[in-house]
Amino acid sequence: MLLIDIGSTYTKLVVADCTTMEIIASDCSPTTIEDVSIGFHKALKKIEDKCVPAELLEERYASSSAAGGLRMIAIGLVPELTMEAANRAALGAGAKVIKTYSFNLSKKQVKEIEDLRPDIILLAGGTDGGEKNTIIHNAKMIVESSIKAPVIMAGNSAAADSILDIFEQSNKPLYVTENVMPFINKLNVDSVKEIIREIFIKKIVVAKGLSKINDFIKGIALPTPLAVLEAAKTMADLFSEGVVLVDVGGATTDVHSITDGLPCDPQIVLKGLPEPFAKRTVEGDLGVRHNISSIVDAVGKERLLKNANVTDAVDSNTVDIILGQWASEASALPKDYFEKSIDCGLAISAVEVATDRHAGYLEEIWTPAGKILVQYGKDLSLVGAIIGTGGPVINSERPWEILEKATYSNNNPFVLKPKKPKYYVDSSYVVFSIGLIAQINPKAAKEIAQNYLKKMEVKLKYA
């Protein structure tokens, strides 16, 4: 089986044998955005040169995040409820939420959406039978605009007929599905995720030029982030305590957690919306190339250099020059030990901040009966494994330092990150392929993951 991931930077190919439950070969080539088939065939040639049995290349499946992946805008009613549900639906389906809006859209906001040119718009708002004027207003604003992206209506079902009438007059693409929040504090995102995937396959693949290789494969099966999430879910079956998977990239740092995340102590009060068992967050300001300045702002230069382990007699101007070059040339790779250290410092900082945001946290609250602890989000403290993927982790000479930042810290004790996990690094870029195999043969995906995890384990340098 040939598994293909057409990424925005590299096109990765993995050959898996679902009879022996092994990864037979893997290789990659830079993605050629102007025509992704060129980079794909270069990577395929490398695989063929390894004398891989031809029969293993006959069955082919692919994922893709080329040209920035699936860019989504979510529009809802109130941020605390419907918007959170919309975000979770998008992230759970492998999309990247680039902007969110609440309440009635203004003309200025519609212009912003037009300029952002999203791939999909998720239109939510209102529980079933509740407030519906807002979602109807927003539907009209979209129809009257130059927005061309497909719209998924996943709000108050009582507004569905009105919105269908509005869109029917415009011939703009509309998908109507179940409400992402039919009742207060009840999430319903599975049907929305299926529609997002359908749109990805039918519309986005063609828009990105990926249709040129569709005849060669069985179709783009998943957006890459969803393939990685599916892989994390498969790997979590091997750990009773669940897993956290961190994917560090040039544009974003994604964090996936597969666990119920319920409070470890029955005396802790859980508040907020229910968290998904399989949760994904995308930190669009923490890419180690496109968003370098945001990483520096988030941690400060002094801490960045400390994470890079280059604090002794470092020339700050030299560091600024390097960071500036990388920010303007996203494909740039570190050339020497010093630059590798800076690159590692960026990844360490990105993982630290991204996992702080992803994990749940505790808050002390005083009540008439005394002090209580309230938990918001997921408790990841018992998670058994942290898996690192993405070029900055895979190619680092200090991957354990990067992954350690995804764990609990005494300096920030109220953030509920893993306390005693094992560490694994996706050293051959195969995590996405496990997610693809899981769609076709879940049993094989689990066995291959189990075999591969043994090769991925990272021992701490000082252990």
Handedness of CA 447, 451, 456, 461 (dihedral sign): positive
pLDDT of residue 66: 64
* Partner residues linked to 130 by β-bridges: none
Phi, psi of 261, deg, nearest 5? 70, 20
Runs of H (alpha helix) within 271-332: 292-299, 301-308, 316-328
* Integer angstrom CA distances of residue 308 from 301, 302, 303, 341, 347: 10, 10, 8, 5, 9
Give per-residue pLDDT as tens, 25-81.
999 988 887 788 888 999 999 999 999 999 999 899 998 876 556 788 999 988 777
Taking the C-alpha atoms of residue 115 and residue 110, their distance in angstroms, rounded to an integer, is 9
Structure tokens at 313: 């007699």
**Count of Cβ atoms closer than 10 Å to residue 209 Cβ:** 17
Give per-residue pLDDT as tens, 106-116.
999 999 999 99
Taking the C-alpha atoms of residue 204 and residue 182, their distance in angstroms, rounded to an integer, is 28
pTM for this prediction: 0.83
- Strand, coil or helix: 32: coil
Residue with tokens 């009209």: 140
DSSP 201: I
- 124-140: string of b/e by CB count within 10 Å (b at 16+)? bbbbbebbbebbbebbb
Phi, psi of 415, deg, nearest 5? -90, 125
60-64/10-17 β-pairing? unpaired
- HEC assignment per residue over 374-392: EEECCCCCCCCEEEEECHH
Q: What is the DSSP string of 111-168?
A: HHHHHH--SEEEE--S-TTS--HHHHHHHHHHHTS---S-EEE-S-GGGHHHHHHHHH
Q: Which stretches of the chain drop beneath a pLDDT of 70? A: 66-69, 203-211, 219-220, 312-313, 459-463
Q: Which of 450, 378, 3, 422 is nearest to 220 (CA)?
A: 3
- What is the side-by-side strand order in the sheet with 253-258? 278-283, 253-258, 243-248, 385-389, 422-425, 457-458
**Cβ proximity of 100 and 73 under 8 Å:** yes
Taking the C-alpha atoms of residue 226 and residue 211, their distance in angstroms, rounded to an integer, is 20
pLDDT of residue 253: 92
pLDDT of residue 46: 95
Angle at 102 between CA 97 and CA 107, to 5 degrees: 100
Q: Containing H/E element for 403? A: helix 399-404
* Integer angstrom CA distances of residue 423 from 233, 406, 447: 16, 10, 19
For the chain, domains (ranges, CATH) are 2-67+208-218 (3.30.420.40), 70-202 (3.40.50.2300), 226-430 (3.30.420)
Taking the C-alpha atoms of residue 347 and residue 309, their distance in angstroms, rounded to an integer, is 13
